[in-house]
Every structure is written in structure tokens, then in C-alpha cells.
Structure 1
Amino acid sequence: MPAEEFVAGWISGALGLVLGHPFDTVKVRLQTQTAYRGIVDCIIKTYRHESVLGFFKGMSFPIASIAVVNSVLFGVYSNTLLLFTATSHHERRAQPPSYTHVFIAGCTAGFVQAYFLAPFDLIKVRLQNQTEPRVQRGGPLPRYRGPMHCATSIFREEGPLGLFRGAWALTLRDTPTLGIYFVTYEWFCRQYTRDGQNPSSATVLVAGGLAGITSWVTATPLDVIKSRMQMAGLEQRAYRGVLDCALSSVRQEGPSVFFRGLIINSARAFPVNAVTFLSYEYLLHALG
């Protein structure tokens, strides 16, 4: 597989992660905890109790793993399209693949990425849900002292499969969602780019942002289920599967539970995915 696809995916993913992680922390807490009345309340309580560092809990491990996860996403997507089109990245702009091929390539990338992402995402969610301040003299220590301690604790307490808790929900979330993600991006770029030309930076920014929002609107219900299943091991609660988690959540909190975090997801999605796609396209051009 062309190395530049993986390198560009790695760097662009890291940039998007740093930009979006504080939003992601708020989203995860809203989805898994009932102590917050809304986005603003969550932000204020997190800042007061944990300082600005509280918004960056769990970020070090995703930064370390983004080289694998995002390079797999963009690498698999681009190379699946190559199987359909037998053309290079730049030639695709002159003779673009069908939207069906784009959707299948995106779904394939989402499916493969999910199993690389699952352990890293689990550790991130567990760390983000720790509300203790980093320094707490005389107070209780956090359950997890860092990403490696979190990983080893899950392995010891929940077994090897514990590291893949919520992986099926993650797969169901990412497989169709990333197909929609790439189709939205390609559609917008084609609508606002002349034939035979590459899209402008402004077009890429807007297309990436809209793709992010569209995909998260689709993904949020399963994202809620995924986050709750990931936290179930810590709370000594076992869901029998995705459907059981969904039904239990609805019984306890009503159908609106599936839209928790939708606003913050959408607010995060536009800038994060705009930056991700712009840096990805720029790096592909530079490396190519």
C-alpha cells in the first residue's frame, strides 16, 4: 500500500485529535454520567474540579495510537478505491469513482479501523470518565494512574477480551458511518470543483466539516451505546449485548438518551474534520 496514504493519515489524525479532544471529553461524560445538566454545566464542573487539564484526560494514548488507527482508516479507504478504479489519487480527481465505490471503500475502512481502534478507545473513555483532579493531597487516588496502568488493570480484572469491550457497537457505528463520511466529502468537493481540477483549500475545509457533522448525526446513537458498554466493566454491570444496552438505557432514561452528546459532537466535528481533511490532502500533495 502506498506509504504516503498512511503517513498523511497519521499526521492529519493527530492534528484533529488535539483540536477535538476537549469536546470529546465533554461528550463522553454526558453520555455515561448523570451528574451534568447539559454541556455548559459539564464544562463548568470539569474546569472547577479538575482545571483545564481535565479536558485533556486520556489524550496521550490516542496520540500514541493515532499513527495506527488513522493511517489504517485513510490507507484502507484509498487502497480499496484503487482496487475499484485502478487509478492513482490524483487521477481520481479527473475520473472520480462512483459514489457506490466511495461508500463501499468507506465502510471497509470503518470496519477494519474499528478493531484497531477498540482497545485504544476503551482506555480513552475510561480515563476521560475519571473526575478526580490530577493532584489531590489527602484525597482518593484515581482508579487508573495513566493509560498503561489502565490497560494492565483492564487486562487483569476483565481478561483479554475486556480490552475489546464495546468493540461490536464500535464496529456497527463506524462501518456505515464512515461510508457516509467519505461520500459526503466527495460529493461536496465535486459540486464545488471544476472538472479536472483539485478542490480548493476552502472547499476541502467545508467538505471535511460537513462530512464530520453528517457522520456524527448518524453515529451518535451507537456512540452512546458504545461508551456505556465500555464503562460497564468498571461499574460491575454486564450488558448481554448491544440490544440489551440499548433497551436498558431507554427504560431508565427514555429515547432521548440516544442523542446525548449530539450537539457537542456536531460542534466538534466541523473544525476537527475540516482540519483533518485539509492536512491530509496537503500532505498527500507534498509527499506525492
Structure 2
Amino acid sequence: MDFVAGAIGGRTETVGVQVSTLKVRIQTEPKYAGIWHCVRDIYHRERVWGFYRGLSLPVCTVSLVSSVSFGTYRHCLAHICQFRYGSTDAKPTKADITLSGCASGLVRVFLTSPTEVAKVRLQTQTQQRRPSASWPSAVPPMYSVPSACPVPKYRGPLHCLATVAHEEGLCGLYKGSSALLLRDGHSFATYFLSYAIFCEWLTPTGHSQPDVLGVLAAGGCAGVLAWAVATPMDVIKSRLQADGQGQQRFRGLLHCVVTSVREEGLRVLFKGLALNCCRAFPVNMVVFVAYEAVLRLARDLIT
């Protein structure tokens, strides 16, 4: 049931997905002075469609990834409690929750890495707006009309995955996975631990769990804290995954960190932090409310 509840809760993560494109562009392209500069540039070049570039595959797989994340966390926590205390119903310690959350983050990397590669490649593949349909017709047919922009290398997420696998091998589909492991391992440990702590603080005296408002607040704060610790490795992950559409700049994770910090300063590791946190609060409020509601419904039906 934890896997089902996680899948249903995960569907709400599609809210505000267009923020992902802004975040990746800001993290990988130093030319942007801020969020609004990036918004204006994307709209000028690609119109509204530019904000949704590369998001079809993540949207289609978000339920599966969320199901694996929450299911792994709950099952890992149950096994730890069974091993340490002799019962799956025993109250876990903060260390137990942290370890289970970390395991959840590490497991999801095997599913999300190819999806993230395709998403980042498509999001960083910028295109100019097409010229007006009436302009080419005014040119005599004996002359060829130069294209307003080069033909995009990737035509879609599946074509992108196939192209990356052909040109870079299967390892190309897991490019940046080292940074992804570091990002999701400690961020999901923070995610589930902070959620448990906030729920404990917000539970009224005499009750075993918080009310709906408590879950909303705990989920939102947990999401913000998780992205706050995840953003530095998220920047490095995006740069490593985008580093395949031209001459390769980075030799690996450490070289990417050193080069990025040397060229742009320490603040480069926090690019996209505001966007991540602004989206994380409302999204994770709804994720945890939906997750807890499904679990509560399942318990009521069983009993």
C-alpha cells in the first residue's frame, strides 16, 4: 500500500513543472543574470512551449519514481525496526528514519538518471522562434532560404535517449549519476527526517499524528529543507548531464565542481535555490497530504 500511496501522492509533483526548465537553464548557462532575465529570454526565443521543453518523460514517470521512493522508505524502515527492536510497529529513532530516507534516495537514482539526462539535454537545447510563414514565400524559388535556426539534435525524449545511447554508450544514460547519488542520498534523508520531526512537533497533545494543517506544514517545510541541501549537487548534476552536446568541458564530478567554482564563485552552487524552494513548499504539502490520506483510507478499509 505504501507504493500505491506514494504513486498517488507523486502525481501532484507535476504542479509547476515548468519551473524545472528555468532552473536548469539558470544552472547551466552563466549568461542569465536572474530568474526574470531567464523567463524573458525563453519567452522571446521559444514562446510558452519553451518552458515545457523536455518535461513529457518526467511527467509520465513521476508516479513510478514516487512510488519507489515512498515504498522503499517504508519497507526499509520496517525492516530496520524488525531487526533492531523485534517489531515493525516499534517507534523508529531519528537515525533509523535518516538511514531509510537515504536508501530511498539512492534507489530512485537508477530510475531517474536516464530521465534526467533526456530532460536536461532537451531543456538546454535552445531554439529560436520560427520565421513568419509569409517571409519565405516572398523569396524567389530559385534561391534557397537559410534556416532561422539549426535543426535540433534531439527530436524528443525517446529520440534523445536513443541518440545518447548510440553516441555515448549506455554509460551516457547515467552521466552525472555520481552527483545524482550525492544529491538524492542526503536530500531524501533530510526530507523524511524533517517531515517526521515537524509532524512530531505539530501533533496535538493526546493524538498520534497531526491534523491536515499539520501535515501540510510539515510536508512543505520538509520539501524546502530537502531542496536546500540538494541544490549544490543539483547544479553539478545538471552541468554534467548537459555536457554532451558539444565539446566536453568536464572530466568528472570533482573537476566540474572545481571549474564551476573557480569561474563563477561559490554562489554557483546555489543557482536555482530560490526556484527549487518556492516550488517545493506547495508541491510537497500536497504530496504528503495525498500520501497520508491514502494510507489512512487503506487502514480504515482493512479495519
TM-score computed with the length of structure 2 as normaliser: 0.86
**Equivalent position of 1:166 in the other structure:** 176
Q: Return the offset for 1:10.
A: 1.7
Deviations 1:108-136 (A, max 9, x none): 11111112211111111111222226866
Q: Return the offset for 1:141.
A: 2.8
8 Å contact from structure 1 (residues 9, 75) kept in 2? yes
Question: How many angstroms apart in 2 are the aligned matches of 1:95 and 1:265?
Answer: 34
Establish whether residue 228 from structure 1 lines up as the match of residue 239 from structure 2.
yes
8 Å contact from structure 2 (residues 200, 209) kept in 1? no
Using the TM superposition, name which of 124-133 and 243-252 deviates more: 124-133
Question: How many angstroms apart in 2 are the aligned matches of 1:102 and 1:201?
Answer: 22
Amino acid across the alignment from 2:230: A
**Equivalent position of 1:109 in the other structure:** 104
Query: What is the DSSP-based 3-state SS (H/G/I as helix, E as strand, rest coil) of the residue aligned with 1:58?
Result: coil
Structure ID, larger Rg? 2
Question: How many angstroms apart in 1 are the aligned matches of 2:215 and 2:195?
Answer: 8
**Equivalent position of 2:58 in the other structure:** 62
Could you tell me which of 227, 235, 238 is aligned with 1:216?
A: 227
Mapping of residues 1-288 of structure 1, within 5 Å: 4-16=1-13, 18-86=14-82, 96-132=91-127, 138-139=147-148, 140-194=150-204, 195-288=206-299
Question: How many angstroms apart in 2 are the aligned matches of 1:7 and 1:52?
Answer: 33
8 Å contact from structure 2 (residues 45, 129) kept in 1? no
Question: How many angstroms apart in 1 are the aligned matches of 2:298 and 2:160?
Answer: 37
- Structure 1, unaligned runs of 5 or more: none
8 Å contact from structure 2 (residues 212, 289) kept in 1? yes
Query: What is the DSSP-based 3-state SS (H/G/I as helix, E as strand, rest coil) of the residue aligned with 2:15?
Result: helix
Amino acid across the alignment from 1:102: I
Q: Return the offset for 1:182.
A: 0.6
Q: Return the offset for 1:287.
A: 3.6
Aligned length: 280
8 Å contact from structure 2 (residues 180, 237) kept in 1? yes
Question: How many angstroms apart in 1 are the aligned matches of 2:183 and 2:251?
Answer: 18
Deviations 1:228-269 (A, max 9, x none): 000111232152221111001112111111111111111111
CA RMSD, Structure 1 to Structure 2 (Å): 2.1
Question: How many angstroms apart in 2 are the aligned matches of 1:15 and 1:133?
Answer: 32
Q: 1:248 to 1:13 in 2, by over 3 A?
A: same
Using the TM superposition, name which of 226-235 and 64-73 deviates more: 64-73
8 Å contact from structure 1 (residues 185, 208) kept in 2? yes
